[in-house]
Homo-oligomer: A and B are copies of this chain.
Amino acid sequence: MGTRDEIAALPPESDLTRADSLAREIFSDVANKWALLIIEFLGIRTMRFGELRDAVGGISHKMLTQNLRTLERNGLVTRTVHPTIPPRVDYSLTEAGDALRAVVDGMCDWTQRYLGHIESSRSRYDS
């Protein structure tokens, strides 16, 4: 009765189609360059603020603190302050953070694997 076409034309289904606004917000929080890089490097081992800055590389003091605060608020990173002089602060992944790290690992692997493919695609496109 003409409904087949309409069904076929319906919007697609996926986790994010069904997701509420909170899921979208979290996805946006997490799907950003600095947050993922921080997760990736903290996955190697617990690090101090300065170590993390050097490891990530190219991130400013301000962006690092800002992203670490968001990560801490979302419960992906724990912040341990040692009341010494000079102060020492250790950052490490929570269980949730480590689970995300596994995903980011996959993304790093993907980047390595398709590096050449992407490079040649770019030169083709730019010509």
Contacts and interface: CB of A to CB of B under 8 A. Distances in A.
Contact of A111 (B26, B114, B124, B126): B26
Contacts of A125: 72-73, 75
A93 to B, nearest CB: 12
Contacts of A100: 107, 110, 114
A111 B54 contact: no
Given A103-B110, A110-B99, A117-B75, A40 B23 contact: no
27 contacts: A11-B51, A11-B54, A12-B41, A12-B44, A12-B45, A12-B55, A15-B108, A16-B40, A17-B55, A19-B108, A23-B112, A23-B115, A26-B115, A26-B118, A27-B111, A28-B33, A31-B31, A31-B36, A72-B125, A74-B121, A75-B118, A76-B118, A99-B113, A100-B107, A102-B106, A103-B103, A106-B106
Given A16-B37, A16-B40, A44-B13, A108 B32 contact: no
Given A33-B32, A36-B31, A41-B14, A73 B111 contact: no
A99 B106 CA distance: 10
Contact of A108 (B14, B58, B72, B107): B14
